[in-house]
Structure 1
Amino acid sequence: MKIAIIGYSGAGKSTLAEKLSNYYSIPKLHMDTLQFQPGWKDSDRDWMKSEMKSFLTNHSNWVIDGNYSWCYYEERMQEADQIIFLNFLPWTCLLRAFKRYLKYRGQVRESMAAGCKEQFNWDFIRWILWDGRTKTAKERYQRIQQTYPEKVIVLRSQKEMDQFLENLANNKKNQRA
């Protein structure tokens, strides 16, 4: 099983990736762990592409969370058996990101690069509400849905995400019976 999780900052991509990685017992890659170096410095793009290519080559099953349209995006979408698009409202993402900040303040999350302590500042707020929701980003998500309608699942709320995970758990129970 290969799963690509895309969507807006604060929607819960990394949390969902963790759950699906555990459910299917497959390796996961949080793209933020490649994008950033300590102190929130951007990684070298060639290095990041090399790491992504290595991950894709060395794993027959995976879950990858993150967008980064310049980093094997089309290849990830093509290879994925399932593409999950977290299309949460901007204010929902902002609230979720703030709650995450309160939980991890002063710490580095497992889904983040080493040396990148959880932060919540005006640049990030602006990214969540506006800059990360450009017309180009919206068109990219729309194109993925049109290109791969048979494998795209759009989740628009925590309730829908919970139902999705509950259905997985129920399917597993039914397979055992």
Structure 2
Amino acid sequence: MKIVIIGNSGSGKSTLAKALVSRYALPYLDLDTLAWNNTVPPSRKPVSDSLIEIMSFTTANSDNWVIEGCYSDLVSALFCEISSSRSDTEITLVFMDLSAKDCIENAKNRPWEPHKYKSKAAQDENLAMLIEWIDNYDKRTDSLSRQSHDKVFNEYAGNKVRITERLPVERIIDLVTKSKT
């Protein structure tokens, strides 16, 4: 089982990924952990550098994995690399396409993310910026936008599922694991 999850911040990507990891003992890669240089302020790594790390992860865990993130450029690069090197690989693409209102509500209620913030207080200090970021999802045109996620989803010829409403995570897992194009 190979699953890639994309969507806006607060859409439930991490929640779904962690539930899949728990249910199926899948190796898990959060693209936030490799998309950025450790600089102040943070800056994006070149896509080629991040892709090397992603391919290392998929090669080490060739049979099963889940990858999640909002980086359509990295997901597109992954799909191109895998399609050119591994013709037998079937990946299910999940687009967590919730409304900004739902994503904002999820962001307000998200648990502490220790891989991103030193404390829950530090995470909460960033909430206003995150809400603004979420709210601008439809207006942005970069690789983290709805426009770019739509493009990746629409161009992907494999198994795919678009989730457009808040559903219990177990229901989403059922939809994802039963999906066929």
Q: Name the TM tier (shorter chain).
A: 0.7 to 0.9
AA matched with 2:100: P
- Cα-to-partner distance string for 1:2-47 (whole Å, 9 max, x where unaligned): 1000011001101111111222222010111223448773464364
2:103 corresponds to: 93
State, as a whole percentage, how many aligned pairs show the same letter.
25
Matched position secondary structure for 1:118:
helix
CA contact (8 A) 2:51 2:78 kept: no
Q: Is the 8 A contact 1:9 1:132 kept in 2?
A: no
Partners in 2 of 1:76 and 1:150 — Cα distance? 10
Q: Which runs of 5+ in 2 are unaligned?
A: 84-88
Pair 1:144-2:146 in alignment: no
Cα distance per residue 1:50-106 (max 9 Å; x no partner): 322321222212100013233353424755521110000001101110111xx42xx
Q: Quote the Cα distance in structure 2 between the aligned partners of 1:134 and 1:28.
A: 28
SS in 2 for 1:84: strand
In the alignment, which of 102, 125, 128 is matched to residue 122 of structure 1?
A: 128
Unmatched 5+ residue regions in structure 1? 172-177
Conserved 8 A contact 1:67-1:73: no
Give TM-score, length-normalised by structure 1.
0.73
Decide whether the 8 Å contact of 1:155 with 1:161 is kept in 2.
no
User: Cα deviation per residue 1:104-145 (whole Å; 9 max; x = unaligned)?
Assistant: 2xxxx25x3474742434332221001565256333333333
Distance (whole Å) between structure 2 residues aligned to residue 168 and residue 135 of structure 1: 27
2:58 counterpart of 1:52: no
Change (3 A) 1:43 1:130: closer
Q: Return closer, same or farther for 1:22/1:80 CA change in 2, 3 Å cut-off.
A: farther
Report the CA distance shift for 1:35/1:141 in structure 2 as closer, same or farther (over 3 A): closer
| AA aligned opposite 1:28 | Y
Any idea what SS the aligned residue of 1:6 has?
strand
TM-score using structure 2 length: 0.71
Q: How many residues align?
A: 163
Output the CA distance in 2 between the equivalents of 1:7 and 1:72.
Answer: 11
1:159 aligned partner: 167
Once residues 175 and 99 of structure 2 are traced to their aligned partners in structure 1, the CA distance between those partners, rounded to angstroms, is 23
Separation (CA, whole Å) in 1 of partners of 2:94 and 2:72: 15
- Greater helix content: 1
Matched with 1:18 is 18
**Root mean square deviation, CA, Å:** 3.2
Asked if 1:62 corresponds to 2:72, the answer is: no
User: Partner of 2:86 in structure 1?
Assistant: none
Name the CA shift for 1:118/1:35 in 2 (closer, same or farther; >3 Å).
farther
- Looking at structure 2, the residues matched to 67 and 29 of structure 1 have their Cα atoms a distance apart, in angstroms, of 12
